[in-house]
């Protein structure tokens, strides 16, 4: 393998294993070359990443050391992505009866949720979360892609108890907008105790669900280090049950009679 | 930017946008260089990918042409990954009351489902699916990662009707093992008509759920081009409602009294 070919292969490995500490010996063995050569290759990759702003390469020295990659999305790229997404979401045909906004197609499209996960990861990485928590169903892809970019596991809270998940903790919570009492459940073994968690969800209206997850996290002695929401309902003009969250978009206007919908991108 | 730095940046873009046709002009603009230079860079990337077996670069000639990247996992790497996963899943502490196997932690861990999605994508790419379909909840991460590697959207079938998804098609199906009648629903706008779909799910026992999704797909005139399952229940010795599927793992033995569990990797 020529040097540039090896560097491409090295780049592929780093990109596909974010947040994993990879010893230089691992690369030296795989590419049958000296560690010092790998070190030089990494300097080149680091410089390229510095120039494009697409990620960081962290070198850990010593015998137990190695290299760790974190993907990053440059701020302007993130902002322009959100802007385009907001325009797409403002299309009249997305309005559903009852003033709801259809967004499931985008929430399950990897080409949309992958950059969104990367945006959340870039924002919350500094808080050092150990797990990304969400509640089924529509928040799962966002949470998974955020967890993927952070290189940590996702944890999915369920509605109701599941025989396939073993003993679990359930809490009741009041949905802030419909005032209905609901139950959410998390398997005991899904999350250790005392973890730093980042909560990710697709939508916030009154904040009942977010507050529910936060109460559930207390049962696991978890520390909530961040709350990232794709879209906040800015039409909802009553106070929310949680206010310390970061939303990427806002649902600013909806007129069911004309189908006119306005979604805005928040400034990062 | 030096040549190697540019090639690293190019590699990053290709890897993060699988299956997307990127015109050479896009790269030429971004890196402020000639299209012929980009062409040469792509030849180097192609050669590196050929040597590592980590993906394919397809060049589409002509004015509307460009380059498309598909990630691939080499067969031996896939097999050894499944082998390790099978050992992990065979741990006694994974046995739950009722003989169920706890696997939710792995199903939501990107470092596990990302390679699994890549394995499914590598197997089913030749069938040219246009969407990956699954049913909530535990199959979602697998389906999403498969869709991500294929560069196509995922579609999530729900249990029960949701106001936030608009008009929908529901079908009743009989769970093959519990014989209970259940409902699954898909929003009309979630999937166009006449699409080629790949169905992905985490587990198959009697096959009732898989058969349900297939019936639902008929309502959308979709052609099911493949059925990929993470784990088949090989303890279930009654005939299944579907038999044309590909499973990566098999649940081969479970003794609730001793906690002894055997999960095996199928041969790819």
In A32-51, the residues whose Cβ lies within 8 Å of chain B are 44-45, 47-49, 51
Inform me whether the C-beta atom of residue B156 falls under 8 Å from chain A C-beta atoms: yes
Q: Where in chain B is the domain with CATH 3.40.50.2020?
A: 75-265
Q: Could you tell me the pLDDT band of residue A125, with boundaries at 50, 70 and 90?
A: very high
As given in the structure block, the two tokens for residue A239 are 């106070």
CATH match for A3-71 among 1.10.10.10, 3.40.50.970, 1.10.443.10, 1.10.1200.10: 1.10.10.10
The strand pairing partners of B187, in sequence order, are B168
Helix B110-124 with B140-150: angle, nearest 10 deg: 50
Q: What is the mean pLDDT of chain A?
A: 94
ipTM: 0.96
Nearest CB among A4, A44, A137 relative to B136 is that of A137
CB atoms within 10 A of CB B85: 21
Asked if the Cβ–Cβ distance from B166 to A97 is below 8 Å, we say: yes
* Nearest Cα residue in chain B from A157: B137
Looking at residue B98, what is its pLDDT?
81
Q: What is the mean pLDDT of chain B?
A: 94
Q: How far apart, in whole angstroms, are the C-alpha atoms of residue B17 and residue A266?
A: 25
Q: How far apart, in whole angstroms, are the C-alpha atoms of residue B114 and residue B119?
A: 9
Q: Could you tell me the pLDDT band of residue A144, with boundaries at 50, 70 and 90?
A: very high
How far A61 CA lies from chain B's nearest CA (Å)?
24
Query: Which residues from A are below 8 Å from B153, CB to CB?
Result: 105, 108-111
Q: How far apart, in whole angstroms, are the C-alpha atoms of residue A214 and residue A218?
A: 7
pLDDT tens for each residue of B70-84: 999 999 999 999 999
DSSP string, A11-27: HHHHHHSTT--B-HHHH
Q: Is the pTM of this model over 0.95?
A: yes
Looking at residue B128, what is its pLDDT?
97
pLDDT tens for each residue of A20-57: 999 999 999 999 999 999 999 999 999 999 999 999 99
pLDDT tens for each residue of A9-22: 999 999 999 999 99
Query: Is the CB of residue A157 less than 8 Å from the CB of residue A169?
Result: no
Looking at residue A179, what is its pLDDT?
82
Asked if the Cβ–Cβ distance from A101 to B164 is below 8 Å, we say: yes
What is the CATH number that goes with domain B75-265?
Answer: 3.40.50.2020
Inform me whether the C-beta atom of residue B8 falls under 8 Å from chain A C-beta atoms: yes
Looking at residue A155, what is its pLDDT?
98
- Give the mean model confidence (pLDDT) for residues A122-144: 97
> Closest Cα partner for B259 from B18, B134, B92, B44?
B92
Q: Could you tell me the pLDDT band of residue B54, with boundaries at 50, 70 and 90?
A: very high
Inform me whether the C-beta atom of residue B76 falls under 8 Å from chain A C-beta atoms: no
Angstrom CA distances, A154 to A166, A210, B117, stand at 18, 16, 16
Inform me whether the C-beta atom of residue A111 falls under 8 Å from chain B C-beta atoms: yes
pLDDT surpassing 90 at residue B104: yes
Inform me whether the C-beta atom of residue A202 falls under 8 Å from chain B C-beta atoms: no
Angstrom CA distances, A141 to A20, A105, A251, B87, stand at 21, 11, 20, 27
Winning range, highest mean pLDDT, from A233-247, B75-89, B231-245 = B75-89
Name every residue whose Cβ is closer than 8 Å to that of residue B61 and which is 6 or more positions away in sequence.
none
Nearest CB among A12, A140, A158 relative to B141 is that of A140
Inform me whether the C-beta atom of residue A130 falls under 8 Å from chain B C-beta atoms: no
Tell me, rounded to whole angstroms, the distance of Cα B169 from its chain centroid: 24
pLDDT surpassing 80 at residue B56: yes
Inform me whether the C-beta atom of residue A76 falls under 8 Å from chain B C-beta atoms: no
Asked if the Cβ–Cβ distance from B137 to A141 is below 8 Å, we say: no
Inform me whether the C-beta atom of residue A214 falls under 8 Å from chain B C-beta atoms: no
pLDDT tens for each residue of A90-121: 998 899 888 889 999 999 999 999 999 999 99
Asked if the Cβ–Cβ distance from B11 to A6 is below 8 Å, we say: no
Inform me whether the C-beta atom of residue B78 falls under 8 Å from chain A C-beta atoms: no
pLDDT surpassing 90 at residue A238: no
Looking at residue B175, what is its pLDDT?
81
* Nearest Cα residue in chain B from A47: B5
Q: Where in chain A is the domain with CATH 1.10.10.10?
A: 3-71
Asked if the Cβ–Cβ distance from B147 to A110 is below 8 Å, we say: yes
Looking at residue B36, what is its pLDDT?
94
């Amino acid at each position: 393998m020529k040097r540039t070919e090896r560097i491409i292969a090295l780049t592929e490995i780093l990109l596909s294993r974010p947040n994993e500490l990879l010893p230089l010996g691992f690369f030296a063995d795989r590419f049958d070359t000296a560690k010092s050569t790998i070190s030089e290759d990494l300097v080149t990759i680091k410089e390229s990443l510095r120039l494009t702003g697409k990620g960081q390469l962290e070198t850990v020295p010593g015998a137990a050391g190695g290299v760790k990659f974190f993907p990053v999305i440059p701020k302007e790229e993130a902002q322009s992505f959100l802007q385009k997404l907001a325009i797409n979401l403002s299309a009249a045909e997305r309005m559903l009866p009852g003033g709801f906004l259809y967004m499931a197609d985008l929430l399950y499209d990897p080409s949309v949720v992958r950059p969104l996960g990367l945006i959340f990861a870039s924002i919350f990485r500094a808080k050092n979360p150990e797990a990304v928590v969400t509640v089924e169903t529509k928040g799962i892809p966002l949470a998974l892609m955020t967890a993927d970019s952070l290189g940590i596991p996702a944890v999915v809270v369920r509605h109701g108890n599941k025989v396939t998940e073993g003993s679990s903790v359930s809490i009741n919570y009041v949905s802030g907008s419909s005032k209905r009492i609901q139950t959410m459940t998390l398997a005991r073994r899904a999350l250790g105790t005392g973890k730093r968690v980042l909560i990710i969800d697709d939508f916030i209206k009154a904040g009942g669900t977010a507050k529910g997850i936060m109460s559930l996290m207390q049962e696991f002695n978890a520390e909530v280090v961040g709350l990232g929401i794709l879209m906040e309902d800015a039409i909802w003009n009553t106070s929310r049950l949680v206010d310390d969250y970061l939303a990427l978009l806002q649902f600013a206007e909806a007129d069911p009679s004309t189908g006119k919908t306005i979604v805005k991108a928040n400034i990062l």
